Amino acid sequence: MIFSFCFICVFALLVNKVCLQVTVEGFIGGSVVLPCSSAEHNHKLQDIDVSWRHNGSKIVFDIIPHSNAPVTQDSEYKNRTETFPQEYQRGNFSIKLNRLQHTDAGQYICYIKNSDEYHTLKLTINGSISTEQGNQGGTEQDRVFPSLPLRLVCIIIPVMLFIGVIIFIVVFLKRKYSKYRAAGNGVKFPSTKGKQL
């Protein structure tokens, strides 16, 4: 029974982690903002060191404002990335990726070294911006967050798991209480009949 409870807890954590990953949608030839914000605020410029990586190894952009060295990035991202320097001290290390290509799809990691924070997101690329965006509608901010069905799944599954755990605990306690009562009813006390006071 303890094993089942542990399994449910681990499964709930895994579901929660998957649901928290942001999915961003982009279009061929268009631009997209890849969000990354630190939990800490009031960063000092000399402490900021942020790395953006694509599919684990490709260097998209390194944000190191206190360094005079040229920006480190793979050639396929040169002249296609923008940052928001006025936002650095507030903990916003988002980047904008322009002239999107099919090869830009995949997982992006934003690693904020000073606070040891990782943020992962998935970028999906659809058809050309002229045809797809006209049909899709919506703002860029609408496409930064997971779709409504995914959000519903991410809410419903943890709630159902929580209810399942509660039911499991109630059933377990009822069985234990029933055994205790059954054991209590079966106890025989010595008879006092025939004894004189």
pLDDT in tens, 34-74: 999 988 877 888 889 999 999 988 999 999 988 887 778 99
pLDDT at 138 over 80: no
Q: How far apart are CA 14 and CA 11, in angstroms?
A: 5
**Whether pTM exceeds 0.85:** no
pLDDT at 33 over 80: yes
Q: What tokens does 169 get?
A: 């605990």
**Of 105, 114, 112, 110, whose CA–CA distance to 26 is shortest?**
105
pLDDT at 179 over 60: yes
Tell me, what's the pLDDT at 80?
A: 95
- Burial class of 155 by CB neighbour count within 10 A (0 to 12, 13 to 18, 19+): exposed
Q: How far apart are CA 105 and CA 115, in angstroms?
A: 27
Alpha helices in the chain (DSSP H): 2-20, 129-136, 148-185
Q: How far apart are CA 97 and CA 81, in angstroms?
A: 5
Residues 138 and 26 sit within 8 Å (Cβ to Cβ): no
Higher pLDDT, 78 or 115: 78
Angle between helices 2-20 and 148-185 (to 10 degrees): 170
Q: What tokens does 124 get?
A: 């999906």
Q: How far apart are CA 48 and CA 67, in angstroms?
A: 10
CB burial of 21-46 (b: ≥16 within 10 Å; e: otherwise) equals ebebbbbbebebbbbbbbeeeebeee
DSSP, residue by residue, 85-114: GGGGGGTB--EEE-S--GGG-EEEEEEETT
pLDDT at 83 over 80: yes
**Of 139, 120, 190, whose CA–CA distance to 25 is shortest?**
139
Residue given tokens 């009813």 in the structure block: 185
